[in-house]
Amino acid sequence: MAIKASNLKPQCKTCTLKREASNRIQQLRAAAKQALLRHKFLEARHILDEAVSLHPDSYKLHRLRCVASACLGDYEAALEDAEVVIDLIPSMSSGYYHKGFALHQLHDYAGAAHAFQQGLELNPTDKIMRQGFWDAVNLLSQDRPVGVALQPGLGGAAAGLLGEGGVGDGAGGGLLMGRMGGAGDRAAGSLAALLADDQH
């Protein structure tokens, strides 16, 4: 049975459109990374908005847009993208880190501690995630009234991490708590590492 040439044209046209869309997404992703490196965070987010509209199932695009939003101090938007990253690839710890960071900046210390705890379950040796967990637990314990217990599970998690040589010395401060200027500066400060991690 012979295939008519007219039947091939739509398939070829579809392949061409997919290839063009893929090329456009790669161009946008590269442009967004360059904008992030130049600290043009709003420009990066606009570029990533377009890229995400073309490929909404890309955890890499959502992760980059999460970083851009965090650098802008828009932690609500960063949280939304972090949750999409987790939904798309729950076995990767970086989504939990970004979620924890956003929740921390939104002063939801219990939620931040829980997100960092989930990330540590996937990557127990992540020192930044561990420090984020302890910063959140320390701030949570400072915010709660005397006699009120920590969120269920966090007390045990804190004890478990302490037993593993955790950094919960009660000092607070840590990696999330003001080694640099504003929170957006802290997010921007680790861009090179985040963008290097995004090569895959």
pLDDT tens, residue by residue, 158-181: 444 444 433 333 333 334 433 334
CATH (domain of 149): 1.25.40.10
User: In this model, does residue 96 exceed pLDDT 90?
Assistant: yes
Q: Is 101 helix (H, G, I), strand (E, B) or coil?
A: helix
Beta strands in the chain (DSSP E): none
Q: Is residue 11 part of a domain?
A: no
**CA distances, 140 to each of 53, 89, 114 (Å):** 37, 28, 11
Q: Which domain holds residue 178?
A: 21-197
> Is residue 113 a contact partner of residue 151, using CB atoms and an 8 Å limit?
yes
Q: Is residue 8 part of a domain?
A: no
pTM of the model: 0.72
Tokens of 17: 């459109």
Tokens of 198: 């995004």
Higher local confidence (pLDDT), 69 or 165: 69
Count other C-beta atoms under 10 Å from residue 121's C-beta.
12
Tell me the pLDDT tens digit for each residue of 107-164.
999 999 999 999 999 999 999 999 999 999 999 888 655 444 444 444 444 444 444 4
